[in-house]
Every structure is written in C-alpha cells, then in structure tokens.
Amino acid sequence: MWGALHYGRYSPVGFGERPEPNYASINLDAGASTQGSHAFVVDAQAPAWWAGWRAALTFGAVRANRLGYYGLGNDTQYSRDSVNTVGSYFYKVSRTTVFARATVQLRVIGPLRILAGAGIDHSNFRALPGRSVFGNDLGAGVVDPGTIPFTDKVLRAGIVLDTRDNEIDPHRGIAAEVLFASGTGYTRTTGSARVYVHPVERLTLAGRLAAEGTGGNPPLAAMELMESSERPFVAVGGYYSLRAYYNGRFTGAGKLIGGVEARYAFISVPSVVEVKLVAFYDAGRVFERGQSVRLTTTGLHRSGGAELAVRLLRNSLLVMGYGHGSDGGRFLFGTSWCY
C-alpha cells in the first residue's frame, strides 16, 4: 500500500493542435509504501518553450524495497514453490537510487532532432532477510561486489526522428531514435522504432522494435535499465517492456524487445475523451556479456493480453489490463502507453 503526493504546474499549448503535451511543466512527486519503499522525484520538461529546442531535467531519490531479482541471463527460472519453501524474499532485492539527469534536443530539420545529455546515478543494492537469488549471486561473484554500491556518470548523444501527431496518445506517425551513452566503465548503444498507423477512424495499430548492446563492464544497476530519449525504463520485464512478467524478470548486458498493439476506441469524443479496448503481444530477451545483440526469434519470452485505456482531454491517460506469459499472469496499471 502506497501513499503519495503530487504537485504540478504547466503552461498549456492553447487551442492549436500540436504533438507536444504542453509548452513546459514541472512536477513534484513524493510517496512511501508500507513495505519500506519510497520515492521523491522532481521533473521539469520544456518540450516547446523555445522554438526548435526541448529540454528536460530530473532529480530523484528512490528506494524500491521489493524489486524483483531472478539472476542474470535469459534462461533464469522462476518457481512459486521457491517462494513458499525458501521465503517471500527469494526473488527480491532492495535497490536505492539517487540520480540527476539532463537532456537537451535541437531540431535540425523537419521532425529530425539531435540529442545531448548527461546524468549521475548512485545505486546500492541490499539483500533482504533470508535466502535470496541476489544474495547467492553476490556471494558467488556472479554480481560483481565491486559495483555494489556504484556511482555512474553518463554522457549521452543521439538522433531522434519524431512524426507523431500526439506524444501522449499517438494515432499516426513514427518515433525512432539511435542513442550512444558512455558510462563509468562501459558504453551503451540503443536503437528503437515505434510506428503508429490509423487505418480507420476508431482503430490505431502500434508496433515497436528496440535493441540495446553494451561494451565494457556494465554494473547491475545499468543492466537492469534500457535507455531512451525520454527516460530509462526497466527491461526486460515490466509494464514498459514485457508486460506479463515482473519488473526485472530478465537481466543482461544486451536487450531485444518488440511488440504489436491494436487500440480500438469504442467511445470517442475528439479532444475530450476516448475509451479504448486494446489487444497486445510482447516479446523480448536479454543477451549475456560477450554475446552479440541480434534480431532473432530464438530464446524470446512472449506475453499477450488485453487492456482498457481512458484518455481525458489532451494529456491524461489511464491504462488497466491483464497479461499472461510463461510465468503466469499479472494485472497491469499504467499512466501512459507501454510505448
């Protein structure tokens, strides 16, 4: 159970139709859970405040006190019986992160932008009481104890192509990006493409393909996340990558994710409200150190499901649903699209 506070201010774009949700905004979120997790995040965004430029600045202190950890690699196993016999924290770890992240983008021509960014992230992991996969891997050296805790200083650069008609709830367009990041002792290269097609009035088809490879010696904190021009997200596993699986279900130095969605608006009042039924299919896998990241159907973990989404006015979106994969099923809730 969480309790949370949210405060936000924004400068609206007015009545003109444009893809950005607002000219600029600042949001403050603070919350805590009954299981020892807490979060404090300040996020400032300026997607259209200066013509041709967009900027973002985020500060945060977050503790995920029940984050999933199932081991490293694409073939890690999950058994509910282990939770019952060994302990409820067998697949859990406590992660604390303090971070700052800044990004600037400049429009070069049309929908093409160049990106530059920097960030600093201090992460620490703590084994929870009793036996756990994380405690076993740390003791055996599978997780490098020299990277627990870890301070990561990152520089990023990239190219972004964005033709979406609406960034919060796109109906048509392409969002593609190629990013390169240099962290503390490792490098990261990420490529992704999201495509939205609006073949008939009430139906939107969406698809995504993304891959990421790392060089050097990435720490566990970096391997748990996948980079994007907006903000990193947990992969592979979780709402933003493989919906029917728990956060961090598969962890590796390289990642491959993809998916397709069909979104049908059975209630549609333009610029006021849309209520949509969604069918989705996700697939993804990770690659270990030394493995080349490649397009393949071998070793993919798959999930499918359905969602109900409600968009209010321009910028408010709620998504609820259910997904099922080889580990079973889970209920879903989000305040944005998976992609």
Asked if 258 contacts 235 with a C-beta cutoff of 8 angstroms, the reply is no
| pLDDT (mean) for 140-152 | 94
Query: What's the mean pLDDT when you consider all of the chain?
Result: 95
Report the distance separating Cα 220 and Cα 216, nearest Å.
13
| pLDDT (mean) for 276-284 | 98
**pLDDT (tens digit per residue) in 24-74:** 999 999 999 999 999 999 999 999 999 999 999 999 999 999 999 999 999
322 closest CA partner among 303, 300, 299, 295: 303
Asked if 197 contacts 205 with a C-beta cutoff of 8 angstroms, the reply is yes
Assigned token pair, 291 = 């493995």
Q: What is the pLDDT of residue 338?
A: 96
| pLDDT (mean) for 252-258 | 97
Cis omega (within 30 of 0) for bond into 145 = no
Q: What is the pLDDT of residue 15?
A: 74
- In the structure, what pLDDT confidence band is assigned to residue 313 with cuts at 50, 70 and 90? confident
Question: Can you give the C-alpha Rg of the chain in angstroms?
Answer: 20
Give the H or E element holding residue 24: strand 24-33
Model confidence at 229: pLDDT above 90: yes
Percent of the chain with pLDDT over 90: 91
Q: What is the pLDDT of residue 82?
A: 82
Report the distance separating Cα 52 and Cα 26, nearest Å.
20
Report the distance separating Cα 41 and Cα 107, nearest Å.
28
Higher pLDDT, 13 or 236: 236
Q: Which residues contact 298 (CB under 8 A, 6 or more apart)?
A: none
Assigned token pair, 28 = 């403050």
- Give residue 104's identity as a one-letter amino acid code: V
Assigned token pair, 212 = 């990421």
The 3-state DSSP class for residue 145 equals helix
pTM of the model: 0.92
Model confidence at 84: pLDDT above 80: no
Q: What is the pLDDT of residue 17?
A: 80
Q: What is the pLDDT of residue 301?
A: 97
The 3-state DSSP class for residue 146 equals helix
| pLDDT (mean) for 239-262 | 96
- In the structure, what pLDDT confidence band is assigned to residue 16 with cuts at 50, 70 and 90? confident
Report the distance separating Cα 101 and Cα 213, nearest Å.
21
CA distances to 60, 143, 148 from 140, rounded to whole Å, are 32, 8, 14
Label residues 88-114 b or e (16+ Cβ within 10 Å = b): ebbbbbbbbbbbebbbbbeeeeebebe
**pLDDT (tens digit per residue) in 92-143:** 999 999 999 999 999 999 999 999 999 999 999 999 999 999 999 999 999 9
Q: What is the pLDDT of residue 271?
A: 81
Asked if 2 contacts 39 with a C-beta cutoff of 8 angstroms, the reply is no
For residue 306, what are the β-bridge partners? 279, 322
Catalogue all structural domains in the chain, each as residue range(s) with its CATH number: 2-334 (2.40.160.50)
Model confidence at 20: pLDDT above 80: yes
Asked if 222 contacts 188 with a C-beta cutoff of 8 angstroms, the reply is yes
Q: What are phi and psi of 68, to 5 degrees?
A: -70, 140
- Give residue 193's identity as a one-letter amino acid code: A
Query: Which DSSP letter does residue 147 get?
Result: G
Higher pLDDT, 316 or 175: 175
Q: What is the pLDDT of residue 83?
A: 81
